[in-house]
Structure 1
Amino acid sequence: MKLIPLFLLGVLGLTSIASAEPVQNIGADNPQYLYTGRIDFSDKKAPQLSWPGSSIKANFTGTSLAIVLDDQLGKNFFNVIVDGETQHPYVLEAKQGEHTYVISTALKPGNHSLEIYKRTEGEEGATHFKGLVLDKDASLLKPPARPRRRMEIYGDSITSGMGNEGADNGADHLLSEKNNYWAYGAITARNLNAELHTISQSGIGIMISWFPFIMPQFYDQLNAVGNNDSQWDFSRWTPDLVVINLFQNDSWLTDRDRKLQPHPTDEQKIQAYIDFVRSIRAKYPNAHIICALGSMDATANPTWPGYVKAAVARMQQENNDKKLDTIFFPFTGYGQHPRIAQHKANAELLTAFIEKKMQW
């Protein structure tokens, strides 16, 4: 395959693809695309992706491939996985506005698979997908089958994959090193062959965040770009399993930085967690809910895991909720966001836990 350097992507025109042959645009409303995630289809010819892990899969023929995206802020990154090459995907850096990104002009003749996967999150803005550009005689084939199992995760920067591709001794704030594909939840979903919706935002908490909105105000949105009035229709997609990994930012901002005043009592922290989990349970009466925490320093001592345990025990007793469990990812002593090695380890723990609980 021929990789086009990132600095040229969006600059090359359509004639750069197989210039001796006419090219065709396969619009985003073609029924052969397989979309995954909370995606806004109000414009079917330009569906909007904003949540991390939102993806588009397709099977196609031909020897060339380009992607048409219209990005809001020019801060998003995508994995473009061709023919199952997950270890070394094309990393597409979206430019602001509408551009055509040439992925390859030298694919082997025949059938190919494609996944376009949003590495970044709503903090980096939304992106409209406007279709693929293929060879003149190429076509989309039947898409891959949608997994029958369904998972949903609510979380913060850990769940988003903030800094997971950074060097162990390096910074972890670079957008190019935020890769939700290798976050623990996404790895777990692939391990279990489950379709995953990731509802996460770096810096968010249940009681307090690093910005003026919290997860109870954010979890029900269709659009992940900040706090907004968009509404996700929960009847569109119902998970079998929900994982909630929150309270890391609450632990920092309440106990460490004392940002929430008056300072909440232990009982208020437990009640805030209960209130959020009950809001999820109201949406999904039959789903199994796993309340997780870690693997950053909120699990360095028993205090915050204790709040989660107390909340779950109370809901199990008061609501007779038998589909409610806890899991905690151990703090390794590493002071920054988890790197891919830690995400893989946490995914192994979560995968084994789910396999046992769900009989998957």
Structure 2
Amino acid sequence: MVSYACGHACPQRFHHPTKGGISVQTLSLRALSQVRLLGRQPDGSGPVPLFYTASGFECIFTGSELALCIEAGFALYEPWISVELNGAWIARFPVQAGRSEVTLFRGMTPGVPKHIRVLKDVQAMHGDPDHYLLLTGLRFSGGDFLPLPEPAYRLEFVGDSITSGEGAIGAAGEEDWVSPFFSAVNHYAQMTADALGAEWRIVSQSGWGLLSSWDNDPRCRVMAYYDTVCGLADGPHNAALGAQQPCRFDAWPADAVILNLGTNDNNAMENPPWTDPATGRQYAQRPTPEHLAALEQSAVDAIKQVRARNPQAWILWAFGMLGAGRMDAVLRAAVSRAAAEMNDSRLCYLPLPAATAGTLGARRHPGVECHRQAAQALTTCLRSILPPRG
């Protein structure tokens, strides 16, 4: 085992006999060039941290068995992961604290390629600094890792609880705020990316917005952390894993960035003010002309920030899965203003279908059918503006 600066051990290649004399290998995911890491990643050579929703990996493997070595920790919210095999969702489970090994498949026909994809279902947990998930290795005996086809596009989705997949799984009527009710698979981003043959990644946090959280806390602004790998993953442990590193946008040039922010700002206007515990000062979003103008400016600033980091990408502001509210007009105006001020023709606003009583999921959030409807709208839009590939 080799120790890295983050203090975790990462397996390098080693062998030991198994029943029948077949050699078992354990390799770091970073040592396998055919394995594609998904989601924002810090610079480093050690274990692979999974921060945001839908972080993970995919590969094509010809062996009969493949296992994943994991390390995890949490105080409040345990990580969950989903496993897809040849495009089918075959498993979903919580990851226990400590080190463990999970069999992804076994007993399958040797020599036949299997496409495996593993996704983190749960968002980066700002409220649980002890929450982390590391992929430390892949264990297998026999078989080869084959090259993956290049993705047709790279898509980045920036948002709040909707983009974190909150409520996308679980019974309608569930109200507990717990890890099992997050999903990266019943998710408009995954559905859109798969329809377009794209790779995708997510930047999101439940309850956060442009100017404040749903309960008016002005510290909870998603775009304040956009330039880091995952700066909202709090605490020294996540810092050691690279969460606070600058994001290297040039290493993963997005073809489109989809912004889905504004729902919590809309909700904040109906909620009591937030009181700063240190100063006693209060902050509240309210539907006054002055504040709506400030919201519009914050959206313009967000678009300009995304454009500065993604000079070649299309930028879509896609909104409305929990209703248009006051923010629809604000965001439309912001997109028009930003396009004019930057002389930028690669900006657009896309209204998304709103959840209904029949398409709501857990925690009064969009369910899988609402996510599917949003993905259909996004797929149609992106196909019309992105250059054909593949």
- Normalising by the smaller structure, the TM-score range is 0.7 to 0.9
Tell me what 1:99 maps to.
Answer: 100
* 1:324 maps onto 2:350 in alignment: no
Tell me what 1:194 maps to.
Answer: 198
Matching of residues 242-261 of structure 1 within 5 Å: 242-259=257-274, 260-261=283-284
Q: Secondary structure at the match of 1:165?
A: coil
Change (3 A) 1:276 1:134: same
Tell me what 2:319 maps to.
Answer: 293
Tell me what 1:7 maps to.
Answer: none
Tell me what 2:8 maps to.
Answer: none
Q: Secondary structure at the match of 2:84?
A: strand
Quick one: percent identity of the two aligned structures? Answer: 24
Per the TM alignment, residue 279 of structure 1 is displaced from its structure 2 partner at its CA by 0.8
* 1:163 maps onto 2:164 in alignment: no
Per the TM alignment, residue 224 of structure 1 is displaced from its structure 2 partner at its CA by 5.5
Superimposed CA distance per residue, residues 178-218 of structure 1 (whole angstroms, 9 cap, x where no aligned partner): 11122112211111111112111111111002563311211
Matching of residues 229-268 of structure 1 within 5 Å: 229-259=244-274, 260-261=283-284, 263=286, 265-268=291-294
Tell me if the contact between 1:34 and 1:56 (Cα under 8 Å) persists in the aligned partners: yes
CA RMSD of aligned residues (A): 2.3
Letter of the 2:132 partner, please give it.
A
Matching of residues 19-34 of structure 1 within 5 Å: 21-28=22-29, 29-34=31-36
Decide which moves more: 46-55 or 100-109.
100-109
Q: Which blocks of at least 5 consecutive residues in structure 1 are unaligned?
A: 1-16
Letter of the 2:38 partner, please give it.
T
Tell me if the contact between 2:152 and 2:196 (Cα under 8 Å) persists in the aligned partners: no
Change (3 A) 1:110 1:270: same
* TM-score, with structure 1 as normaliser: 0.86
Tell me if the contact between 2:80 and 2:122 (Cα under 8 Å) persists in the aligned partners: yes
Matching of residues 23-62 of structure 1 within 5 Å: 23-28=24-29, 29-42=31-44, 44-62=45-63
Letter of the 1:102 partner, please give it.
T
Tell me what 1:8 maps to.
Answer: none
Matching of residues 73-222 of structure 1 within 5 Å: 73=74, 75-86=78-89, 89-111=90-112, 112-123=114-125, 125-135=131-141, 138-171=142-175, 173-209=177-213, 212-222=219-229
Tell me if the contact between 2:353 and 2:370 (Cα under 8 Å) persists in the aligned partners: no
Whole-Å separation in 2 of the counterparts to 1:307 and 1:231: 30
Per the TM alignment, residue 315 of structure 1 is displaced from its structure 2 partner at its CA by 1.6
Tell me if the contact between 2:64 and 2:109 (Cα under 8 Å) persists in the aligned partners: yes
Tell me if the contact between 1:80 and 1:115 (Cα under 8 Å) persists in the aligned partners: yes
Per the TM alignment, residue 357 of structure 1 is displaced from its structure 2 partner at its CA by 2.2
* TM-score, with structure 2 as normaliser: 0.79
Per the TM alignment, residue 287 of structure 1 is displaced from its structure 2 partner at its CA by 1.4
Tell me if the contact between 2:158 and 2:203 (Cα under 8 Å) persists in the aligned partners: yes
Alignment size in residue pairs: 336
Letter of the 2:233 partner, please give it.
G
Per the TM alignment, residue 25 of structure 1 is displaced from its structure 2 partner at its CA by 1.0
Tell me what 1:280 maps to.
Answer: 306
Whole-Å separation in 1 of the counterparts to 2:87 and 2:97: 28
Tell me if the contact between 2:36 and 2:59 (Cα under 8 Å) persists in the aligned partners: yes
Decide which moves more: 153-162 or 55-64.
55-64
Letter of the 1:249 partner, please give it.
N
Whole-Å separation in 2 of the counterparts to 1:242 and 1:105: 38
Change (3 A) 1:61 1:355: closer
Whole-Å separation in 2 of the counterparts to 1:225 and 1:318: 30
Q: Secondary structure at the match of 1:180?
A: coil
Superimposed CA distance per residue, residues 202-251 of structure 1 (whole angstroms, 9 cap, x where no aligned partner): 11111002563311211122136535633212221111111100011111
Letter of the 2:86 partner, please give it.
D
Change (3 A) 1:221 1:126: farther
